[in-house]
Structure 1
């Protein structure tokens, strides 16, 4: 066996590799960025904690990594392998995780650092000391500058090691999933609360997380790092008194755990963790001595001298008491804060304190800890201009061993109809529950939203089972009571998602006993403020989606969603009931026959007022079949496709529905049963004789419903080859490139257009589209280069805008732009204003003279009466209505032009102008004026299958606009206002 070399050269090589790995993993490697980017996919890292690093790679990539170190030649493969072995068998900081080791180029190992990951100097010093000690056989003497031995610190570290764990692990462990805290932790921001939050009254269900947000503007926002630095930089003699408050599952405990680890790793202070539920009837002082200290030193009886030494650590100001979950103490929550205040006296009171508490307990009444600095965790965020994608980061960490599942989950969340779920899972616990469900179902959500929320509810009961035990009977009773509470709240106009204390008491009883207390303990209800008018507490459900779910559980008969007698109402048209309806349709305990009856009632609903509400009922049915696979699904989706894309009525004759119906059908298709929609859209594309609608449907199918669908791609390829008109061919090639990036047919078509077209605008646009789908295409950039030298400022401006848009979409294109100097210079020029614009903007404006309103009204009326130009009449009438809203001449003029304008453009212009000036109180008058366009028409023919509807389709748009602003009952009454029959009886 060859002798192992432990000399200076072996030490130097091993240290080089160790230093390179640290710098790479800390993103601190000073080297060529392009070379580093090329390596990153091949050297995979994962920090398990601040001192444990997992690496997967091959020897050749480690060679390349050492070659990136400035002024150094790369180590060869044998030197790399030797250095890895020395880190494992000599310095003993490398754990070899490979299943087979002999001769393999693949390496999978864990590095266990001596110090924090970012303290590179201390880790390298320790490496040097360890190498020399082991080589000489001497006992290591570590200087105090590197490490100072502290027995109490070791004791606290040992206790924390046993106490700190991911709070969701008890729930996920039954599924075989356990996570290290640092492996999935994503830092949340914090906000300092200057005063009690005033809760918003205007929260929508899709914005339910805002119920727990503060409305103040002058509050401090912190990242976790800045919060911890603030703790460290506070040199005042005053003790820290800090509270972290929030809704259940907001990450309060996890934040406290991160603070504990930070104190342990970055100071000589002593973090002591106390789960307040463990106190039972003891005071904090007795618990610390009798329970915590005895467990920490692992002795049955604690010697008096150790007790005294322990108390001395408090007197010296070295202790941080980390008190978790005030709300879980074994006492009435209203007394818990007072109890904590009484604990913080004597030697215990000399410690720094950080505690966590639910909002409903912290804001419940007079707060004995009001002097505490109070912070609240912010929610996870999605990607925006102001926010990083923290939801995505958490999902990626949860599924770090299965990135495909992570990607599929993120894609699923972006699908239409997921807004409520997206908002709900901004909360860390609910996001973890969703990831758990996704993992258990192997990349599939349950078939209905109701089943998903049922799993969430069951998981939350299980999560709290060790603290607040509930039997199946208690859960059933509580669910039933919460359902009735939710149902009545949504039915009450003034309540909905903010529930007064007295309102909750009527249904759940007194707050200190029974179901009300259980709902508070489990977090189903949380206090979110104090009513400014009544002065009583205000509660909200854990999230509005859970309120809607519980409400759906309380409804047994689908007739509930239709006509109610007092007050007269159709819940199918009221937005607050839409999600409840969909959740009801997804319930497993409702018979399919009953659901089918409901779906049939929706699609057969005849509103008697122009079919606007009939269409809305139909669109609701379409969303419903996504939750329940009805026998009517195919019929419904085929109708949506017909309304969206039109249908043939004769040879070379294609009929389309009015624009509002088309748009409503487009949105409904996005929300209906996706699999069925894909199948029926595919059939439509293959049989459609209309090129434009084939193109539209194929693009929708391949871009939105089923990415990369082969039928959609084939249809678009055929169209690109057949269409000869340059503008249409450009658009169809662009659609094909979006559906199938890099498609050769699209690239060839765009190249052909650029080379053959005689229009500069077409060639420039073609180059832009070609560069989008084929970055770096030489034809595209040669075309840009030619236009960049044009004397036409407008063309150069368009090219510069194209370049910037390309870079914003794909940063790699910057490389191609920079390789062509004229393009690089053009992109950096400010071409936003022409000389003509600059001259125009430099002219001084004359001050306006006071206007005589009476004379102006008279002039406008005269202009309308004498004028012949219908466009000018629309302009004058619109201006006149703004000056004099009740002016009959203006109103009648717009009505006449909406109904009988000489051209389609005029009628369209009149409708759009009417929308801008119409007041709500004028709607009845407007409906009365234009409803005669539809009264004598069969409501089933309200589309452009006749000259009559072609003439009045813009009237239909205006009717639709009015209906959107009114509830069904009020609209119905206005429509039939001239009838003698009592409207309520008809309903």
Structure 2
């Protein structure tokens, strides 16, 4: 069997050094003199040989071609100034320097043979001589071009070598690691697939073929904050952001990053980050089976929540290997050593799922510290929520970060809906599952979803999980789409109970009791500093009762799938079981159901804040707060009181000077931004207009009569306000931006920023489109502003005839500069 050269970059350097020296030799020498080392070209063949002179009878000299010796090759390498680098794994420190170099050269020759070098005529290497032929590009090509041929052969050999390795039949006493990994992957896939969403395997297969695009991203460095903001405050005001470097469609990602190893880490360290429900686990499953089916290595899956204090190495040996080999007793030392050798031979891919679910305050730092020993030789693909990745920025700096983007709207969302409702021959299913299944049902959903006023829901269902749940709820319901996320999740919950009705029927009272208990459980879990998503048996039992006792709530939650067993607590001597909600977003929704009084989010005690409640400043509670504001069963008076409390919040711990007067403190801004997001869920708030107007003013400034000029806030408030704008009531925000753009006192720079803002939030909105069309057609504006308006119009005016006409007219305007017309 040929040796495995995957990942041996030092060996490649040696080979390239040797070939480059031989190419230089071919340009410099005259081989008519029959030297001990000759490099002779014949079209694309570079023949490496040498001659030996011997004395014959009569004092005559006879020159015979015998090939070259390693010593001559080594001398030529030195003469060319190309010192070979010894691979660390091949270093033998007890050798003299000369012998080491000879051994190193022998290694490079061995690698050349592995790459398909043809030995010329009869080999005499047993006597220390070599003759061989390199097939390159051509004698007339440059050295660099010929070296590229060697690099390409190296890559091709990597693929072929691995394929041969995995296709070779093992002996009866050997383990078939490929089949072992496949069986373990199938097991994990069953545990991690959202079975509630799919009625049949055919649908599952078709929907898994729709993948979100990925973007190679880099975390951007925050700008320097203003002197008016302390360093501590500034670090909290700035939201970590990412700059997109390159976008990959699904198949291109698999081929270029996973197979070919393009990028700074050559595919050895990859992080997939995304929002909850973005499809991280699904993407990782696809990668795992693609690796296996293309003979690229042995994929080993670890759900990181299962570590529970164990190191990756210990988990692999004590848990994964034991389950994979299906042994009752401990795994033998021989099997452990064979398993470790798989890593050392660069055959293993570690697929680490859900770093955010680890029971650690610094999960990424912990992972970094554990990729050591023989584990470090594995190629690693890791998934993680964006917020956890941001919070641990720099812990895995050697990883290349790819962010899972949303489904593209409308193309991929519409495609998903069409495939979901595509007529198919189903095996017998409960009536609920086959009710009105067909393209007409899907068309109705799409028509309802694609209305201009549905922008919030359109944005919501770009997330793969939520789109699947939407299709599921629409499948058996004649209700229209709700306005809020809480309303949508309410439908989701109702749908789950209907879906499980045949197997696990429940009464309305049982559902209410279970929802309340799940809410109390979720609320307590979110308040925990660690393990918010992993819930020990004792923790669950305190709210739902013991599954072995008379209480029916615990077993019912398990039967319905709201809670699922995900492993055991490693720190428990009795191997206590651990559970998790069906998905973290449901945990947040049930927690919102458990909040009766908004003071549980905010109970301000100005003189003694330690006695107060300030969940409004805890990131993990933001989504819960928004879901609470969207609940239909919460009275408008309570919601209005809460919004008012956020708007009027006085932190009493510092002030921020803006314009010519003292404004809010740091925490007051944060409370206000939360109120701005809140009025998108509670759209009937009497404060909504004033809140949106204030956000726009902070983001873009206002005209000061006494100064007779447009004045803006000091950094970083404008940036934070503009970030908050897309999160608030979009209809009101669009109206405020349109009014701002029409203000004759507005300066060019601010008008451009406002036009850019419309491009972010104004998709399909006719008022936004009209405002941008008017900007484009205004000859009194500068070209930069009109160009920005055209760019924003292109983002929000898809299919709008008025937008198309305006852009067509702009293109035909000979007075505009070429850059604007091109845009």
Alignment TM class, shorter chain as reference: 0.3 to 0.5
User: Higher RCO, 1 or 2 (CA under 8 Å, sep at least 6)?
Assistant: 2
How high is the TM-score relative to the length of structure 2?
0.45
More helix by share: 1
Q: Which is greater in Rg?
A: 1
More strand by share: 2
